[in-house]
Chains A and B, each alone.
Chain A
Amino acid sequence: DAKTTQPNSMESNEEEPVHLPCNHSTISGTDYIHWYRQLPSQGPEYVIHGLTSNVNNRMASLAIAEDRKSSTLILHRATLRDAAVYYCILFPGSSNTGKLIFGQGTTLQVKP
């Protein structure tokens, strides 16, 4: 299974942008890049996913490097409610099981 590398923790100030990096140098051509986050005492929550092009949705933006070996999740204006563990996951496009392989993730702390 392809592996991702994320910083253990990051800090941000409220209402400032946050850039959460993820390295995935062994990504294969059919792997999608998925991001989930887990707020305290809750189950994980889908954030965004992409394959090659940058993606935007109401929660965040995903910037994917041209060689696809890294990506960045962008929260445009962090709020206290964005404090969570953020997981970057490689998901095979040919998957027939939907199995998500979570790493340790990045714990984001948002300061008021």
Chain B
Amino acid sequence: GAGVSQTPSNKVTEKGKYVELRCDPISGHTALYWYRQSLGQGPEFLIYFQGTGAADDSGLPNDRFFAVRPEGSVSTLKIQRTERGDSAVYLCASSRGPLYEQYFGPGTRLTVT
């Protein structure tokens, strides 16, 4: 079956611009996660959705970052006023629930120039 997909695969933007990153989870998975991975580091948790609601957003670095999942399926990570330090690979994962194994997408590589 289809895995987790993320679009775009690469995004280059200028400092100060707004970006949206999209995640399509595995069908039927109620849990969805966003992580961020800087070069040479392990992924870092950003936010967890159970259904439509953000159950844990403790990893969002500041209020420039926001994520939505309005219908409990597709999710969008939104970054306002991008900074060069936001450059990273943004990973999305989904699972059947918080205690189940997570399936990751290939990531979106964001470069802020």
Chain A residues close to B by CB (< 8 Å): 34, 41-46, 49, 85, 87, 93, 95-105
- Pair B98/A96 contact, Cβ less than 8 Å: yes
Question: What are 11 of the A-B contact pairs (CB < 8 Å)?
Answer: A42-B104, A45-B104, A46-B101, A95-B98, A98-B99, A98-B100, A100-B35, A100-B43, A102-B35, A102-B44, A104-B41
Given the contacts A98-B33, A99-B56, A104-B42, A43 and B97 also touching, CB distance less than 8 Å: no
Residues on the B chain within 8 Å of A49, using CB: 101
Residues on A with beta carbons closer than 8 Å to the beta carbon of B35: 100, 102
Interface centre among A87, A97, A98, A105 (most CB of B within 10 A): A98
Contact yes or no, B106 A98, CB < 8 A:
no
A98–B43 touching, CB < 8 Å: no
Tell me if B103 counts as interface (CB < 8 A to partner A).
yes
The chain A residue with its CB closest to the CB of B6 is A43
* Closest residue of A by beta carbon distance from B45: A99
**Cα of A105 to Cα of B44 in the assembled complex, Å:** 13
CA distance A99 to B56 in the complex (A): 9
> In the complex the two chains form, is A97's CB within 8 Å of B56's CB?
yes
Count of residues in B whose CB is under 8 Å from the partner chain: 27
Most B-side CB within 10 Å, residue of A43, A96, A103, A105: A43
A100 touches B55 (CB 8 A): no
User: Helix, strand, loop or mixed for chain A's interface?
Assistant: loop
Known: A43-B91, A44-B91, A45-B104. A99 touches B48 (CB 8 A): yes
**Is the beta-carbon distance between A98 and B103 smaller than 8 angstroms?**
no
Contact at B93–A95, with CB atoms within 8 Å?
A: no
For the complex, what is the distance from the CA of A23 to the CA of B45, rounded to whole Å?
22
Please tell me which one of the listed residues A45, A85, A98, A102 contacts residue B31 in the complex, with CB atoms under 8 A apart. Answer: A98
Bound together, the chains give a CA A81 to CA B41 distance in angstroms of: 21
Alpha-carbon distance A95/B56, docked complex (angstroms): 11
Closest to B93 in A: A43
Q: How far is the CA of A43 from the CA of B77 in the complex (A)?
A: 17
CA gap between A64 and B42 in the complex, in Å: 23
Whether the Cβ atoms of A44 and B43 lie closer than 8 Å is yes
Bound CA span A46–B97, Å = 15
